[in-house]
Structure 1
Amino acid sequence: MLFDAPSPTVAQVSVDSPLPHLDRLFDYLVPTDLAARVRPGCRVKVRFSGRLLSGYVISLTSGSDYHGRLHPIEKLVSDESVLSEEVASLARAVADRYAGNLSDVLRLAVPPRQARVEQEKPAEAAGTIVEPPAAGWRRYAHGEPFLTALAKRRNPRVVWQAVAGEDWPTRFAEAAAASAAHGRGALLVVPDQRDLDRLDAALARVLGPDRHVCLSAASGPAKRYRAFLAVRRGAVKVVAGTRAACFAPVESLGLVAIWDDGDDSHAEPHAPYPHAREVLLTRAQLAGCGALVAGWARSTQAQLLVDSGWATAVTADRAQVRRSSPRVVPVGDDADLAADPDSGAARLPTPAWRAAQRALRDDLPVLVQTPRRGYLPAVSCVNCRRRAQCQQCSGPLSLPSAQGIPVCRWCGRPAADHRCPHCGDRRLRAVVVGSARTAEELGRAFAGVPVHTSGGDRILEQVGSGRSIVVATPGAEPPAGDGYGAVLLLDTWALLSRVDLRAEEEALRRWYAAAALARPADDGGTVVVVADGGLPTVQALLRWDPAWFAERELATRTQLRFPPAVRMASLSGSPQAIAEFSSIASWGDEVEVLGPIPVDDRSERLLLRTSRRHGARLAQLLHKAAATRSLTKPGDVVRIQIDPRELW
Structure 2
Amino acid sequence: MTKDGGGTERATGLIPGLDDLPRAPVAKPADGRAAGGKKAGGKARKGARSPAEDLPVARIAVDMSLPHLDRPFDYLVPSELAAKAVPGCRVRVRFAGQLVDGFLLERAAESDHEGRLSYLERVTSPEPVLTPEVAALAREVADRYAGTFADVVRLAVPPRHARVEAEPVPEAGVDAEAPPEAPVRREPGGWGEYPAGESFLTALETGRAPRAVWTALPGPGWAADIARAVAVVLDSGRGALVVMADGRDVARVDAALEGELGEGRHVALTAELGPAERYRRWLAVLRGSARAVVGTRAAMFAPVAGLGLVVLWDDGDDVHSEPHAPYPHPREVLALRAHRAGAAVLFGGFTRTTDAMRLVESGWAHSLAAARARVREAAPRVRYVGEDGQLARDAAARTARLPNVAFEVARSALEEGPVLVQVPRRGYVPGIACGRCRTPARCVACQGPLSLPSSHGAPYCRWCGRIAGDWHCPECGFFQVRALVVGAKRTAEELGRAFPGVQVRTSGREAVLGGVGAERALVVSTPGAEPPAEGGYTAALLLDGWVLLGRPDLRAGEETLRRWMNAASLVRARCPVVVAAEGSLPAVQALVRWDPVTYAERELAERREVGFPPAALMASLTASPAAIRELLADTRLPDGAEVLGPVPAPQAGAADGPGRNGLDKERALIRVPRAAGFALARALKEAQGVRSARKVAETVRVQIDPLELI
Q: What range is the shorter-chain TM-score in?
A: over 0.9
Structure 2 residue 563 is matched with structure 1 residue 510: yes
The match for 1:115 among 158, 162, 166 is 162
Deviation at 1:8, TM superposition (A): 5.3
Q: Report if aligned partners of 1:13, 1:26 keep a CA contact under 8 Å in 2.
A: yes
Three-state SS of the structure 2 residue aligned to 1:619 is helix
Three-state SS of the structure 2 residue aligned to 1:138 is helix
Matches within 5 A, 1:102-501: 102-127=149-174, 132-361=186-415, 363-501=416-554
Deviations 1:393-437 (A, max 9, x none): 111111100011111100011112222222222211111000000
Matches within 5 A, 1:519-534: 519-521=572-574, 525-534=575-584
* Aligned residue number for residue 663 of structure 2: 601
Matches within 5 A, 1:27-46: 27-46=74-93
Deviations 1:104-156 (A, max 9, x none): 00000000000000000002101379654212101112111111111111101
Three-state SS of the structure 2 residue aligned to 1:606 is strand
Three-state SS of the structure 2 residue aligned to 1:58 is strand
TM-score (norm 2): 0.89
AA aligned opposite 1:455: G
Q: Matches of 1:557 and 1:353 in 2, distance apart?
A: 38
Matches within 5 A, 1:595-634: 595-599=645-649, 600-634=662-696
AA aligned opposite 2:694: T
* Aligned residue number for residue 69 of structure 1: 116
Q: Matches of 1:593 and 1:154 in 2, distance apart?
A: 43
* Aligned residue number for residue 125 of structure 2: 78
Deviation at 1:345, TM superposition (A): 2.3
Please identify, of 195-204 and 431-440, the stretch whose mean Cα deviation from structure 2 is larger.
195-204
The match for 2:57 among 10, 15, 18 is 10
Percent identity at matched positions? 55
Matches within 5 A, 1:534-553: 534-553=584-603
Deviations 1:74-110 (A, max 9, x none): 1100000001100001101100100000000000000
Unaligned runs of at least 5 residues, structure 2:
1-40, 42-51, 650-661
Three-state SS of the structure 2 residue aligned to 1:644 is coil
Unaligned runs of at least 5 residues, structure 1:
none
Deviation at 1:6, TM superposition (A): 4.4
Deviation at 1:253, TM superposition (A): 0.3
Deviation at 1:590, TM superposition (A): 2.2
Please identify, of 338-347 and 222-231, the stretch whose mean Cα deviation from structure 2 is larger.
338-347
TM-score (norm 1): 0.97
Three-state SS of the structure 1 residue aligned to 2:414 is helix
* Aligned residue number for residue 8 of structure 2: none
Equivalent residue pairs, number: 642
Q: Report if aligned partners of 1:255, 1:290 keep a CA contact under 8 Å in 2.
A: yes
Q: Report if aligned partners of 1:132, 1:206 keep a CA contact under 8 Å in 2.
A: no
Deviations 1:538-596 (A, max 9, x none): 01001100000000000001001111111110111011110111111121432111111
AA aligned opposite 2:647: I
Structure 2 residue 98 is matched with structure 1 residue 48: no
Q: Matches of 1:37 and 1:488 in 2, distance apart?
A: 61
Structure 1: 4+ residue segments shifted above 6 A: none
Q: Matches of 1:44 and 1:176 in 2, distance apart?
A: 36
Indicate how the Cα distance of structure 1 residues 453 and 570 shifts in structure 2: closer, same or farther if over 3 A, else same: same
Q: Matches of 2:133 and 2:674 in 1, distance apart?
A: 25
Q: Matches of 1:239 and 1:588 in 2, distance apart?
A: 39
Matches within 5 A, 1:536-575: 536-575=586-625
Q: Matches of 2:309 and 2:398 in 1, distance apart?
A: 49
Q: Matches of 1:127 and 1:620 in 2, distance apart?
A: 43
Q: Matches of 1:368 and 1:109 in 2, distance apart?
A: 38
Three-state SS of the structure 2 residue aligned to 1:298 is coil
Q: Matches of 1:593 and 1:416 in 2, distance apart?
A: 46
AA aligned opposite 1:145: S
Q: Matches of 2:479 and 2:599 in 1, distance apart?
A: 46
Q: Matches of 2:572 and 2:174 in 1, distance apart?
A: 38
Q: Matches of 1:371 and 1:319 in 2, distance apart?
A: 31
AA aligned opposite 2:404: T
Q: Report if aligned partners of 2:638, 2:679 keep a CA contact under 8 Å in 1.
A: no
* Aligned residue number for residue 70 of structure 2: 23
Structure 2 residue 112 is matched with structure 1 residue 58: no
Q: Matches of 2:185 and 2:664 in 1, distance apart?
A: 58
Q: Report if aligned partners of 2:429, 2:487 keep a CA contact under 8 Å in 1.
A: yes
Three-state SS of the structure 1 residue aligned to 2:644 is strand
Q: Report if aligned partners of 1:465, 1:480 keep a CA contact under 8 Å in 2.
A: yes
Q: Report if aligned partners of 1:8, 1:29 keep a CA contact under 8 Å in 2.
A: no
Q: Matches of 1:233 and 1:159 in 2, distance apart?
A: 31
Deviation at 1:383, TM superposition (A): 1.3
Q: Matches of 1:278 and 1:115 in 2, distance apart?
A: 33
Q: Matches of 2:153 and 2:451 in 1, distance apart?
A: 42
Indicate how the Cα distance of structure 1 residues 406 and 31 shifts in structure 2: closer, same or farther if over 3 A, else same: same
Q: Report if aligned partners of 2:189, 2:228 keep a CA contact under 8 Å in 1.
A: no
